[in-house]
Amino acid sequence: MPLKLHTETSGRGSDLFLVHGWALHSGIWGSVLPELAQAYRITCVDLPGHGLSRDLPMPVTLPALARQLVAAAPENAVWLGWSLGGLACLRAALDFPGRLRALVLVSATPRFLTTVDWPHAMSMEQWREFVAELGRDYHKTLQRFLGLQVREDAAARNVLRRLRAAVCARGEPRFGDLAKGLQLLRDSDLRAELAQILLPTLVMTGEHDQLTPPQAGVALAAAVNGAQRVVVPKTAHAPFLSCPAEFSAVLKQFLQNLPAATQAGHHRRMPHSAGISRE
Residues 59, 15, 269, 90, Cα dihedral to 10°: -10
Could you tell me how many residues make up the chain? Answer: 279
pLDDT given for residue 174 in this prediction: 87
For 31-35, 72-76, 126-130, 188-192, which range has the lowest pLDDT when averaged over its residues? 126-130
Structure confidence at residue 89 (pLDDT): 98
Q: How many CB atoms lie within 10 A of CB 37?
A: 16
Instruction: Give CA angle at 198 (190, 17), nearest 5°.
Output: 80
Question: What percentage of the chain has pLDDT greater than the value 70?
Answer: 92
The catalytic residue positions are 83, 209, 237
d(CA 224, CA 198) in angstroms, rounded, equals 8
Task: For residue range 230-279, list pLDDT tens digits in order.
Answer: 999 999 999 999 999 999 999 999 999 998 753 334 443 333 333 333 44
Q: Is the pLDDT of residue 168 over 50?
A: yes
Domains of the chain: 7-267 (3.40.50.1820)
- Give the Cα separation of 129 and 152 in Å (integer): 22
| CB-count exposure of residue 154 (10 Å: 0-12, 13-18, 19+) | middle
**Residue of 220 and 276 predicted with greater confidence:** 220
State the Cα–Cα distance between residues 178 and 142, nearest whole angstrom. Answer: 10
CA neighbours closer than 13 Å in the CB half-sphere of residue 110: 25
Chain segment 79-129, per-residue pLDDT in tens: 999 999 999 999 999 999 999 999 999 999 999 999 999 999 999 998 999
Ranking 134-138, 223-227, 258-262 by mean pLDDT, the lowest is 258-262
Q: Determine the average pLDDT of the residues in 23-31.
A: 97
Mean pLDDT of 127-153: 93
pLDDT value for 259: 86
Contact 225, 193 (CB under 8 A): no
Report the SS3 class of residue 277. Answer: coil
* pLDDT bracket for residue 2 (50, 70, 90): low
pLDDT averaged over every residue in the chain? 92
pLDDT for 261: 59
CA 62 to chain CA centroid, Å, is 14
DSSP 44-103: EEPPTTSGGGTTSPPPSSHHHHHHHHHHHSPTTEEEEEETHHHHHHHHHHHH-GGGEEEE
Q: What is the DSSP letter of 11?
A: S
What's this model's pTM, rounded to 2 decimal places?
Answer: 0.93
- 3-state SS assignment for residue 19: strand
Across residues 130-141, what is the average pLDDT? 92
Are the C-beta atoms of residues 83 and 117 closer than 8 Å to each other? no
pLDDT of 3 over the 80 cut: no
